[in-house]
Structure 1
Amino acid sequence: MQRSDTVLKQVMAAFERESHLKLRNHPVHMSFDGGALTVTGEVPDITSKKRLLQLTQRHCEGARLVDQLRVTANPSIGDGELRTRLCERLAQTAEFRNCVICARVKGQLEVLHGTMDEAGNDGSGVVEVTVEDGVVTLTGQVGSLSHRRLASVTAWWVGGCRDVVNLLELVPAEADDDDEISEALHLVLETDLRVRAEQITIKVENHRITLAGWVATEAERRLAEQDAWCLDAIDGVVNRIQVGA
């Protein structure tokens, strides 16, 4: 097995080639422990985090990957404020209107939207939010993979989030595939008012997303790609969106 510093050099070189970005002010570290490779450090955004992890998986020769990368919180906010913002955002999102939204505060569960009596009703679910050191953990249950993925993306949209651990269960169970990813991304782009979803086309093959179409600005092009990278359980994003009048 390669040494961790060799893997790190390979990954960083590939990252700079593919993204044309440099992470000199965001040091990343890797270390092998048995059959696992742990990646630690801080990166500027979710796109950089997901790209780095994807490249590391490609170069680590089958080692189990332990993700401890964090995204720089800009601006930095306290755990309580982040938790409150996220719970409010979920409660205001149409797709979670029938869900019970809870917060775990100092070990105690606080119900912020709906009632626990409604949790078992048809079409409803429960999303419990815990925040520690800027890391959001989502537990509970939802009724579709699209809702599960949208919950993660919503956490990333709230400023100050450094990572998301999505432990939401699906009830009933649902098989994941390319169509499910495409459906989730359509939902995400339609929910994100910063982009014009109708001008963006989505193709998913082997969990790899390709975006195409036209947008008005480079910022909108980057936002659409970032939304795609925010999705859980994908295998990369290719951005072929063009910027034009």
Structure 2
Amino acid sequence: MTIPQVRTDEEIRRDVLDELKWDRRFRVHDVDVAVENGVVTLTGWVRYCSEASLAELAARRVLGVRDVVNNIETRVAGCDARGDADLVVDVTRAVRDNVEIRDRPPEVTIEDGWVTLRGEVDWNHIRQAVENAVKRVPGVRGITSLMSVRPWKKPSAEELKNKVEEAMRRNCGTGSRPITVEVEGDTVTLTGTVRTWCEKDAADKIAWFAPGITSVNNRIRVDPEHRPSYVGTGASGTP
């Protein structure tokens, strides 16, 4: 087995800068990237709230990154500036037109362009879809999401644990990683060590797809120097 090569902070910094330039879905102005012990700090500014999120995702894709601190600022251009009352209308319309919500849309309040969302949804991916729709609205400076997941179906803890472990085993991003799954009530706790944030994120998404889950406690550690066991290992790390 090949031993993972340790990457220096400067190597990671250069790759993050290249990745930010490579992803054409956003543009970060006056960007600065600092790296310390694999933890990346991003500064600069963007015109749309969604661009700051995309920049963070781009940085997390780089090999060797342990975590990302996103200090990118959203600066609303004059052509996109509008009052909070008008922005509420636009945000509400964006959610209605882009997200299928079974019961009722979230409550939206806005102060100085900062959006606060409240309400309940059946699934976490719906909550994320609402947040992403809001981030794309011109004039939105940031989001505080107080939305909660309240599923209509609640399987037993043992059933949930089995479903999550099965999903972990068949997923190419997590199937050979020693990830431990524990379920208490409607909360999933994930522990273990992976080499990249992408693997940690994959495990998080898998757990959230389980029916009846209202919270995922992702304690998986990102260690680029980790040597995972690939042969004969299931989701829980047992041969």
Q: Which of 1 and 2 has higher RCO (CA within 8 Å, sep 6+)?
A: 2
TM-score (norm. length: structure 2) = 0.45
TM-score (norm. length: structure 1) = 0.45
Higher helix share: 1
Higher strand share: 1
Structure number with larger C-alpha Rg: 2
